[in-house]
C-alpha cells in the first residue's frame, strides 16, 4: 500500500484545507442532498431520510433533492413513524415514483427492508456499529449492512442499488451517508449522530467529479473509480488529516461541482 502514498505538495495541502472550509459550512446545505435530512430533528427521522436520499444520490443534484423531498412527503414527512407502521396498504401513493433506474419496486423494497431493520435489528446505526471493526476499514461494516439489508425477500433488480465493495464498487452513496451520520464538527453540515464509529475510519465518497479532481491534484493515480481507488485516495487524505480524512470530500466535491475543474 505504501507505494501509493505520495508526498503531497504544500500548495496542494493548503488548497485542500482552504476549499474544505469554504464548502463545509451551513450555506452549502441548501444546494446539496443533505438538505433533505436537515428538515428533521429526531434521530430516526434524520437517519431514514438520509439513507433514502443517499440511495438516489446520482444525477442532477436538483433532481435528487426534489425526488428526496417527494419521498418524504409520501411518508407524511414523518419518516421514522412511517417506516415502523408501514404495510402493503400504504404503498399505493408511491407507485408513480421513479428516479433514474431507481423505481417504485426498489423504493417499496427499501421501505420494507428499513422496517425490518428498525423492528428486528434496532435501526441502521446498530447494524453498521455491529459490523464495524475499529482500526480497520469501514468496508466490513458496509458489507455486513448489505447482508442484513437483503436478508428479507427482495427483487433481484434492487441489488444494484446498494453497492458491494467486495465486488470492487466504490460505494459512493453509502460512504456519503456514513459521512453524514458519523462526521462531527461545528460546521453544521454533517450530523455526527453515530458515536461508535470513528471519523478517522471513514472512506472518501468517490464519484466522477471527486475522482477527476483527485487525479488532477495528484492524490489518486488509479484510473478506475472503484474500491481500490477509494482506499488509495483516502490513504492520501489521511496523510493530511489522520483523524478526519474525509473533511477533504468537501474540497474535492466543491472544486469538481461548483468550479467545473
Q: How far apart are CA 248 and CA 135, in angstroms?
A: 20
Give the burial string for 197-231 (b: 16+ CB within 10 Å, else e). Answer: bebebbbbbbbebbbbbbbebebbebeebbbebbb
- Residue 30 buriedness (CB in 10 A; 0-12 / 13-18 / 19+): exposed
Beta-carbon-side half-sphere exposure of residue 62 (alpha carbons within 13 Å)? 0
Same domain assignment for residues 170 and 238? no
Same domain assignment for residues 51 and 14? no
Q: Could you tell me which of 14, 34, 15, 11 has the C-alpha nearest to residue 187?
A: 34
**Which among 196, 230, 251 is the end of a domain?**
196
pLDDT at 48: 98
pLDDT at 151: 98
Look at strands 98-99 and 102-103 and give their pairing.
antiparallel
Same domain assignment for residues 109 and 57? yes
Same domain assignment for residues 186 and 65? yes
Relative orientation angle of helices 10-23 and 249-258, to the nearest 10 degrees: 80
- The count of domains in the chain is 2
Host H or E run for residue 149: helix 139-149
Q: Which residues are registered as beta bridge partners of 99?
A: 102
Same domain assignment for residues 153 and 209? no
Q: What is the pLDDT of residues 171-222, one digit of tens each?
A: 999 999 999 999 999 999 999 999 999 999 999 999 999 999 999 999 999 9
pLDDT at 256: 82
pLDDT at 259: 73
pTM of the predicted structure, to 2 decimals? 0.95
Which band of pLDDT confidence, cut at 50, 70 and 90, is reported for residue 225? very high
By residue range, what is the domain housing residue 5? 1-29+204-261
Torsion, CA 176, CA 243, CA 138, CA 16, rounded to 10: 40
Mean pLDDT for the chain overall: 94
Which band of pLDDT confidence, cut at 50, 70 and 90, is reported for residue 1? very low
Same domain assignment for residues 41 and 152? yes
Rounded mean pLDDT, 124-148: 93
Amino acid at each position: 500500500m505504501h507505494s501509493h502514498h505520495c508526498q503531497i505538495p504544500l500548495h496542494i495541502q493548503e488548497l485542500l484545507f482552504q476549499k474544505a472550509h469554504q464548502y463545509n459550512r451551513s450555506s452549502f446545505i441548501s444546494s446539496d442532498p443533505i438538505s433533505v435530512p436537515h428538515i428533521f430533528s429526531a434521530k430516526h427521522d434524520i437517519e431514514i431520510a438520509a439513507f433514502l436520499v443517499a440511495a438516489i444520490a446520482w444525477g442532477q443534484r436538483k433532481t435528487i433533492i426534489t425526488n428526496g423531498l417527494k419521498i418524504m412527503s409520501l411518508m407524511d414527512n414523518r419518516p421514522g413513524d412511517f417506516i415502523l407502521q408501514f404495510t402493503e396498504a400504504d404503498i399505493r401513493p408511491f407507485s408513480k415514483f421513479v428516479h433514474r433506474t431507481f423505481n417504485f419496486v426498489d423504493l417499496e423494497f427499501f421501505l420494507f427492508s428499513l422496517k425490518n431493520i428498525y423492528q428486528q435489528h434496532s435501526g441502521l446505526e446498530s447494524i453498521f456499529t455491529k459490523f464495524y471493526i475499529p482500526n480497520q476499514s469501514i468496508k466490513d461494516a458496509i458489507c455486513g449492512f448489505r447482508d442484513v439489508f437483503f436478508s428479507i425477500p427482495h427483487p433481484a433488480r434492487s441489488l444494484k442499488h446498494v453497492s458491494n465493495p467486495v465486488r470492487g464498487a466504490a460505494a459512493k452513496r453509502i460512504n456519503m451517508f456514513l459521512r453524514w451520520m458519523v462526521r462531527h464538527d461545528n460546521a453544521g453540515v454533517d450530523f455526527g449522530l453515530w458515536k461508535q464509529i470513528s471519523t478517522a475510519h471513514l472512506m472518501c465518497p468517490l464519484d466522477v467529479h471527486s475522482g477527476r479532481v483527485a487525479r488532477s491534484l495528484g492524490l489518486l493515480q488509479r484510473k478506475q473509480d472503484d474500491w481500490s481507488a477509494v482506499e488509495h485516495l483516502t490513504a492520501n487524505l489521511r496523510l493530511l488529516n489522520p483523524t478526519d480524512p474525509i473533511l477533504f470530500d468537501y474540497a474535492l466535491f466543491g472544486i469538481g461541482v461548483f468550479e467545473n475543474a
